[in-house]
Structure 1
Amino acid sequence: MKLRSLALNQFKKFTSPVRLDGIADGLNVIVGPNEMGKSTLLEALRAALFEKYSSKAQPITALQNDRNQAGPVVELAFELDDGVYRITKRFVKKPYARLSCPDGRTLEGDAAEDVLRDLLGFDEPGKTGAKAETLGMWNVLWVQQGHSFGALDLPQSARANLHSALESEVGTVLGGRRGRALPQAIEKQLGELVTGGGKPRGAYKELIDNIETLQTDLADLQGRREELSRTLDQLEQAQETLARLSTGDRDEADETELADARKRHGHLAELEARIAAADSDLALKQRNLEQANQALVARTALRQAIADEEEAVETARKGLDDVRGREKEARARLDQLRTAVREAEAGVTTADDAVSHQRRILAAVERKGRIRELEGRHEKAAAAEERQRKARQEAAAILVTDETLTEIRDAAKALETIDSRLSAAATRITFDMAADALSGIEVDGRKVAIDDPPVQAIGPTTITIPGQGRITVEPAVKDRDKLRDQQREARTALETALQTGGVKTVDDAEEQHRRRQKLVQDGELARQEAVLHAPATDDHDAGAEALAGYIESLQLILTRDLADLEIDTLPAKQEADTALRAALEQAEEARSAVDMARAALGGPEDALGALQTQLGTVRTRYDDSGVRLEKRRAELAAAEENQADTALQAAIDAAEKAVSDQEDAIASLKDQRTDETLPQLEARIGRLEQALRDRREKRGNLKETIAGLRSHIEVLEGAGLDEAIEQKARELERATDERHRADREVQVLNLLLTTLRAAEQEAKERYLSPVLNRVRPYLQLLFPGAEITIDEDLRIVGVTREAGYEEAFHHLSMGTQEQIAVLIRLAFAEMLVEQGHPATVILDDALVFSDDHRMNRMFDILNMAARNVQVVIFTCREQLFEELGGRQLSLQAGSAEELVSA
């Protein structure tokens, strides 16, 4: 393919028609300063050929110019073997495509697009516009500004075209696809055993890990043999300690002091709760501003946390499944020993029922307090929603919407434009005469006054002078009738738009629109206030109505709980707490009895104990990770709801006043405090409770420990440790032998892969010779004695220069990378042209990193390549590229009648 001409209108920065004609065979140069639009010309070339005319994707709408957003139009003429084709496309507004063929056919729309793709060998663009993969070789040969250096971006479609051209000259490499698949198969087989760095993986790694596990297990068995001796010593020590702690004279005094401290704590806690509630309300308003500033950071952190937690959940799940299997087997062996434990647990059930009853009473007390709090929130939210409703009603009564205002503005602008054009084309008639001389003079039957402005004559105008006769003025206005029709249409359109908005003037429409926006904003602020007072929770949606329903449901639950508990009134919270603690102590005593019964199982359960501990740890990690993951996902969803700056500022202003009022209320409550503090009383209560609990727990633990140690000794004495140690040693020996066989397999596969890769390299050099032979003359001219290396996927790997040392391509300087990348593109184009494929090379501001010596050599190379391939250069460096030669081209004004925009 050879480009011949390019024309565009309303395309990005070009707001008037321009043309680029006379594009010849060989080397063509378009020189111009920055912001002349050279890169835009290349974008127009790409759009004319590769973008779908009917697309509404963002890259297509971005082709419009910023000044009037008209429909971009581009026309390209190009030549193939059978003659010149001309493709014209208009995008975005009233889009169309038209392809004129050398045989006289003219194709429209999708038919034109289909034929164009068949001619030039590229794929249909996707919904988001043309991409590298759809452009194929054109993405390689047409280099946009800033993309000429570095490794070539070869999409799969481009590589397929080049491989087809290579195989047509030298055949396939290493027996074609099958030959290339053999090293890949060996790599895959080797990759199942070791990583790229040679580290074990898969079954090979599992074998090595198993050997380490067996070694650990063997050491563990040997340690258990030593443990038996230590356990006997521990039993003797525990029995002595239990005898010392059997007295409990201090318990009664501690319990009396504890009851008094709890009573004082209750009174103070109620006061502190009121202060804390007031502080919470204050903190809520202060956090609103802080959360607005931290939203972005928090959201990013949440996303990273979610990814981390997902990985942790998966890891914990695998570990949990493994431990569960082993724990299940161990538990089956102990089921027959647990019958006695179940009898003791029956007593726990009775105590738990009492605890459950007291918990339900306490929950009902707390629910009643929650209902009182929510009723206050509901009252504030309902008031805010009423203000929101009124604002929305008033806004709906205003007909000037964003769309209506846009229509009015466009119609007014169009009328102003037509009036200006008529005024500019009219013939101005000015009467510079005394008042008495003007007496009786008429223009089209209307008398002329001394203060009248000049007459603007568009059509035939008659001036009557009493006693003298008439003067007829006939202005030669081009398209006069058409302009008058447009003026009437524009005026009608403006009047229609004003009627639609229910206003009389453009200023009225602007004022109504501003008032409507203010009402909408007020409604949104009221909505946000309602959401602040009645936010969405896991139990109900946001809003006063939803909150009222939730309060009603809490009332129903409270009524049902009272009926179920068979009580008419609820006790005070302190009484409910005291009753619950008493029930808990009774349940603790019942559980102590169960623990004593379970301790008798200690020996047989020791083997299971380790697995249960591991299972509990893994399960906790899994459950915690799952809970954290779901919580953070929910937090992320909430964080992604954006809040306008104006709404946030309004909320802050309102919060500042609320903060001041709340601080006054807090100060009043704090004046009621005494010299005692909650932490002081809580410390005393905790100290006394802990002292009582410690003494009980020590006695119970020592009894349980003694029973467990006795059972553990029985198990260790009968576990057959010596036989288990001998069995584990035999397993370790067998696993070690299997490891030696796997080591040899890895060595054999490595040797085979190395041999095949050497043969592949030799064949690859022959396969890539067509490209290397074409680029070698250019490379020798630029880097004497150098050789280039490319891989089978046609990527540039490196350059060999001094003393046969190969330098990696990405280690070369930016200028050298750019120069070699240009040479490779020229070689690709020459090979494709020689085989009859369309190929034109376009470079936009290339060679930006070349020194003077290299630049002169590159100019010679470009002229050499232009003998076989059409080359188009865009550059902003006029003085430097004067030495390039080639055909100098420049932009010319085009015709709007030929490239009609919309």
Structure 2
Amino acid sequence: MKIRAIRLENVRRFTDPVEITGIGTGLNVLAAPNEQGKSTIFDALHAVFFKDAKSWDKDIRALAPRAGGEPRVEVEIERDGSCYRLAKQFQKASGKGDLRIWQGDHLYLQSDAAEAWLQSLIKSPKEGGPSGLLWVRQGLTNFADAKETLAARQDLMSSVAGEVDSITGGQRMDAIRRDVRQSLDRLVTSRGAKKGGALDQAMHEVATLAAREEELADKVRELRGQLDQRQDLRRALTDLQDPETQQSLEARLRQSQQELQAAEQYQEKLTVAEQALRTATLVLDNHNSALAGFLARRKDRVEAEQALSAAAQTLKQICEVLDPAHAEGKQAEQVLATAKAKTQALESRLAQMQLAARLEQAADQRRALQQTLEQARSVMQQVAALKAQMEHGPDKAAMERIETARDTLALAAQAQQLGAFALTVTYQPGQEGRLTLDGAPLAGGSRIPLPEGGSLEVPGLARIELHPGDGAGRDQLDQAQRALAAALEVVQCDSITQARAAHQARQEARIRLEEAEGQLLVLAPEGIMALMQRLDALPVETPPAEAGAPANEPEDEDLDQLEARLVAQRAEMDASAVALDQARQSEARHRLDLEGARVSHQAAQQRLERAEAALAGQSDTAERLAELQQRQTELQQDLAAQQAHYQALQQDAPDLAPARARAARAKSEQAATREAIQAHLRDLAVLDSRIATTAGMAVEEELAEVRDQLSAAQNRLAAVEFEVAVLRRLDQALEQARSAAQEAYIGPVLQELQPLLRLLWPEARLGLDAGQVLPDQLMRAGQEEAFDSLSGGTQEQIALLVRLAFARLLARKGQPAPIILDDAIVYTDDARIEKIFDALTLQADEMQILVFTCRQKSFRALGGTQLSIRPVSDPA
């Protein structure tokens, strides 16, 4: 198992989420000042792996921040090539915490199943788990927990060395073997547990209690599910019955109803205004009809008087002159012929001018459409060019990869500068600047890193060539440079500046493309083909050549003037035709006898009498006409005012349909809330009844009792099985050779420990207590020293090396576990700490090591992956 990332929230000083990411496979160092939370992270890791999520004991309570809150710890791990994310949430309410395990984005396990999986992954120290050997708290390096971790050490050694036998042969060996076999026969046979024996009884008891425990556990899970469901229902009911929610629903309903009422009242006002407008229109129409009738009757009387006068005159003319009437008819025919000729000429000229005007208008439209079409085609070419331009240059994702590679390169370069060979010069007074580095004067008083070496010249004395070593972080720097070069090669750029410029050009091209597409949409909203079709639909006839104006006609006359003249000419022609007809009729009448003229005169007289009768009783005066016209003006003004009032109301009128919809929706929401409350109350009543029935059966108490009985039975079974195993193992062990058993027992750990020990004392050897599997003496310089008599620093160093040896044995056993050291080297001097660093680096090639320390300057030389604690929201 390897730890890849750690996240904390509401853990002591970390009330806001923080994380440690980028934890590598080998050596990892978190160097930070005191009170920065390193021990907190250690305790949080211990809690997430060895504390049940539903626990709220003193260790978990100690993790809660002073400001209040419930600790949450997330750890990303790698196991057998797969990545998992553990998220453990502790809650003050006992039994309410939760553990969830994700594999990628998939929820892998949760709750009890997740806890069981985690326990199978790494046992607690008290259960012989390796973390008791490899996870060292601050100030506890020297096996202060030797009794707690004894089982772990012995289990580890047993797995690699076998059992110790201190008994020698002879009759005593035979007697012991007979006792062992008799004890085995009372418990087991060759086919299994002996019927009626202690092992058989223990197995039967465990099976019975396990079945009962499973049955009760199902009932308890059902009860807890019902309790959780009841809690959810109560929470939902509380939300629905929340006074603020109810007030909000009532306020929305009242507001929607008020808006609807206002809209309806406004609609009524608009209806009244519409009715007033219709009434004003009807009154004006009636008055106009009355005025038109009055004017028509007056006109009829005038025309009757004129007709009577004309009839009298005609009669007189007939009586006086008959021949002139014939001449007048002839003259009228000539006048009519002349008027017809002028009218036909004007009609022909007007048709030519109208045709020319239509063709000129079509030509203007053609030119405008042609210009728009050319602009649209130009914009289309621009769009195509911009799209092609957008295909070049890095996109946002590629640019982000380049910037990330640049930042990584900068960090790697900084790390190399920090870990590289450096030079600090302190000049004697008056000697400043005498030394040169690569030909340049060397400044004094500051640290100058030399990752690439250099040439140091002492004038008049010597030239010193400085050769760099391997260089801290050189591989990371080269890797970062290759990553940046690869990222730039993908986008075909030679530098970050060129990539940024290409990315900026791509962004600008995208903006211009959007503008061009918008312009194209304005120019051709239906497409260029539609513009071309409209252009083809316009007439392309050539306007006829304008005929010159007839003699005595104006040359610069426009279309309106010509139409006015044609109307006048047609009126003149009609008058000529009427005059001709009148002349002929007059001639005919003249040719009739005078009696016909008298009949006409009499008819005119009767018409005048009828017109005067129609006006009888009405004041046919100018004052009456002025009064009617004044009334018409007043009615027109009133109608205009009513129209303006109606239009103003109509312009500001609210939409009644949305107001009705909002009111209906608010009412429906309130009704739905009431129905939901009633449904929740019914469901709560049913759940309360079920919970009361189940709780009355005291299944949880019975389950706890059965589990206690099962635990005791399992312990008894385990004891019997252990006895059987021990007897069998003892029987086998007694047959093996006993010579050099103790050497074989502690040999593996000494084999792993000796290379590490030589880093500190080349000729020293360490003695181990076979029973405790702990160091008991150190042999160096021909002398043996008891472990307890060594200095604190030496004990600390040996204890750390022994733990590293245990870690290597675990790794070779196929159970690698991460080593976590929280300020584990506090008494080691500067000389030996470098050798301890060598030992850690040597072991880190096969296992993961996490070192937490406050000694930032001293541990800078340790190297490894440098870790930091940062807020989760921090993008750095």
TM-score in same-fold range (> 0.5): no
Give the TM-score normalised by the residue count of structure 1.
0.33
Give the TM-score normalised by the residue count of structure 2.
0.33
